Each structure stands twice: as structure tokens, then as C-alpha cells.
């Protein structure tokens, strides 16, 4: 992997205003989508969550909410394009996001794990101040141990990396000023349908809003069950040209809860070739992390989420070619 990020000022960035529906309407759309797949559902207004027992503990999601869709699977597959390295702080400055930026979401890889050629799943959690260029990196990451095949989560990010926000290939990030405020609180228990927590809501948005682009970001916790998640292995030497080859390269795990996930979902791919949902989560015991797919214990699973409606989508360095797989 190249060690110098691409010049943020030279990246192609497309700015797209998002449709922001009235909250009452949005909540009823989400409620309907979840009720088709879960036995117990509540969608209401709530305040931004805090968790005093763990770090990072605050998820204040309000103030100028935006989504950054950076790169894409077309840069990872069939072989990784190792020059695709992004400086999140530089991108925020480029789009004139002034002041405090609280950045959460899902990304492929995270400095420094990527600097030695390794690969990982990043659970992104950055506090950035673009006025002074400061970064506090509370992200976590998981990788596959080559010899055991186990998922490994380093307990700490190195001293040098605590002040870097550098990511390769692709990332789907929710950014706000990190202010407390009112958000949409969503609870769902006991899955009776085929769709997972996020897919239930994403499909409901897609069906209702059709050509209007709506985007949400935030976090959710999962309890009382197990979750299927994947972690990418180190970069493949063999080109991953099909979904079967991709799924053979990804390592799937059944992870214990509680887990906390961060990420985004939007109503449609549009011409911007968006990923319609992307969440990564980490275990509260800090032992596992990965890319969220679905719970494997539908009878007992409990979800509690907090989401805010973004106002603008920034598509950063959109790949020239559209991949037909790799976005699940």
C-alpha cells in the first residue's frame, strides 16, 4: 500500500442534496419496514445515546449531518488499487466542513494496519477539527490472523495513529458536528422475516422514496443473540472476479453480542453508484469486530438504534466502473 494519501484537493467530489422528509413521515416508513420483519418494533424521537461504561462513550449525532461515500468495492476488486488512500481530514477541509467533525462508519482498512500491506475492517470513530487539523482516532479494527484464521481486534491503536484519519479503498461515513440533540430511536426485537435490522429500514426507504435520495447515519447496539459478520483477509493475490471467489476470500464469523455498529444507509444507489447500506460493529468485550450481515438467533435478538437524517451526500472519488457484486 502506498503510504502517502491522495491529494484531497484533486479528488473528484460530487455534492448531492438529500431529501429530508418530515420526521413523522420518515418514522412511519421505518416502522412499517421493521414491522414486516420483527415481532416487536418501536420508532420514536430520542436523544443521542451515551454509554458511560465504555469508550468511546458518546454518540452525539447532530449538527450539519452529512454522508461521505468514498471510493468503492471497484477499487478493492478484483485486485486492490493500492494508490487509493484517503485523508479524511483533508476531504472534510476540501468540502468546507468547518470546525468539529464527529466521523463514524464503515471502512476497508485503517492506518496503520494497512501500512504494512495488511488488510482489516475499520469501525470508524474520529473526532476531527478542521480549523486546526487535529484528529482523535478512537476507531477499532479487526483482521484475520493468518495462521489461526481467528478474528483479531488489537486492544489499542498505536501512539502515532491516534492522530491520523487515513483510510484506503472505500469508506461509508456519517459526519456531524457531534452536538447532542434529537434523533430517531429505533428498537426491534425477535426477527420473524428474512431481512435484517438495516435491510428492513433500507428497503422501506427504497420503496417509499423511489427517486428521492434519503440518507441516514448513526449507531445501533445488538444484544441477546449472535451476529453473522465478515472480516476481509489480507489482500488476495488471486483476482476476485466473481461473488463466489469474493465470499471464499471473506471470513465469516458468528459473533457474540453485545455489539455496537456504526454506519449509514440510503434509499437508492442512483447514478452515484452508492452502497445502500454499510455498518461495521465491534464487540463490547473488544474481542471481535466486523462487517454486519444479520443476526443468526432471530428468536432472541434485540436491536436498539439511533439515527439522524443527513442533509447532503458527498460522493468522493467515484470509481469509473460499476461492480455488479461486492456491496452486500
Part in contact with Zn ion (CB under 5 A); list of ranges 91-99, 102-110, 173-181, 192-200: 102-110
Kindly tell me which of 106 and 262 has the beta carbon lying closer to Zn ion: 106
Count interface residues toward Zn ion (CB under 5 A).
2
Among 126, 275, 291, 315, binds Zn ion (CB under 5 A): 291
Q: Are residues 188 and 41 in contact, defined by beta-carbon separation less than 8 angstroms?
A: yes
Residues with Cβ < 8 Å from 295, sequence gap 6 or more?
191, 196, 197, 222, 225, 226, 227, 228, 301
d(CA 213, CA 278): 16
d(CA 45, CA 198): 18
DSSP 185: E
The dihedral over CA atoms of 111, 116, 120, 125, expressed in degrees to the nearest 10, equals: -10
Q: Is 203 in the site for Zn ion (CB under 5 A)?
A: no
Part in contact with Zn ion (CB under 5 A); list of ranges 88-96, 98-106, 140-148, 258-266: 98-106
CB of 281 to Zn ion, least distance (A): 10
CB of 122 to Zn ion, least distance (A): 9
Part in contact with Zn ion (CB under 5 A); list of ranges 25-33, 97-105, 177-185, 291-299: 291-299
Q: Which three cell numbers stand for residue 30?
A: 421505518
Q: Is 31 in the site for Zn ion (CB under 5 A)?
A: no
Q: Is 106 in the site for Zn ion (CB under 5 A)?
A: yes
**Closest residue to bound Zn ion by CB:** 291
d(CA 170, CA 154): 21
Distances (CA, A) of 328 to 85, 262, 294: 22, 16, 11
CB of 24 to Zn ion, least distance (A): 32
CB of 107 to Zn ion, least distance (A): 7
Residues near Zn ion, by CB under 5 A: 106, 291
Amino acid at each position: 500500500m502506498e503510504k502517502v494519501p491522495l491529494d484531497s484537493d484533486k479528488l473528484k467530489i460530487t455534492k448531492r442534496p438529500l431529501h429530508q422528509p418530515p420526521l413523522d413521515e420518515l418514522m412511519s416508513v421505518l416502522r412499517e419496514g421493521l414491522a414486516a420483519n420483527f415481532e416487536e418494533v418501536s420508532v420514536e424521537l430520542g436523544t443521542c445515546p451515551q454509554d458511560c461504561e465504555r469508550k468511546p462513550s458518546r454518540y452525539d449525532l447532530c449538527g450539519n449531518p452529512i454522508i461521505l461515500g468514498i471510493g468503492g468495492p471497484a477499487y478493492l476488486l478484483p485486485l486492490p488499487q493500492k494508490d487509493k488512500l484517503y485523508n479524511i481530514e483533508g476531504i472534510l477541509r476540501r468540502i468546507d466542513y468547518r470546525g468539529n467533525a464527529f466521523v463514524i462508519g464503515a471502512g476497508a482498512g485503517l492506518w496503520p494496519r494497512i501500512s504494512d500491506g495488511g488488510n482489516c475492517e475499520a469501525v470508524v470513530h474520529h473526532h476531527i477539527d478542521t480549523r486546526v487539523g487535529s484528529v482523535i482516532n478512537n476507531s477499532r479494527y479487526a483482521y484475520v490472523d493468518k495462521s489461526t484464521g481467528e478474528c483479531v481486534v488489537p486492544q489499542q491503536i498505536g501512539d502515532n495513529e491516534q492522530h491520523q484519519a487515513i483510510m484506503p479503498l472505500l469508506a461509508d461515513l456519517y459526519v456531524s458536528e457531534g452536538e447532542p440533540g434529537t434523533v430517531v430511536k429505533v428498537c426491534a426485537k425477535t426477527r420473524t422475516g428474512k431481512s435484517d435490522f438495516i435491510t428492513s429500514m433500507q428497503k422501506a426507504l427504497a420503496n417509499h422514496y423511489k427517486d428521492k435520495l434519503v440518507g441516514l447515519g448513526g449507531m445501533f447496539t445488538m444484544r441477546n443473540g449472535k451476529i453473522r459478520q465478515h472480516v476481509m483477509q489480507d489482500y488476495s493475490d488471486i483476482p476476485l472476479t466473481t461473488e463466489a471467489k469474493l465470499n471464499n476470500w471473506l471470513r465469516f464469523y458468528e459473533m457474540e453480542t453485545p455489539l455496537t455498529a456504526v454506519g449509514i444507509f440510503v434509499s437508492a444507489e442512483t447514478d452515484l453508484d452508492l452502497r445502500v447500506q454499510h455498518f461495521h460493529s465491534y464487540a463490547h468485550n473488544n474481542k471481535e469486530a466486523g462487517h454486519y450481515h444479520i443476526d443468526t438467533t432471530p428468536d432472541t435478538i434485540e436491536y436498539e438504534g439511533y439515527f439522524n437524517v443527513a442533509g447532503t451526500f458527498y460522493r468522493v472519488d467515484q470509481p469509473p466502473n460499476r461492480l455488479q457484486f461486492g456491496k452486500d
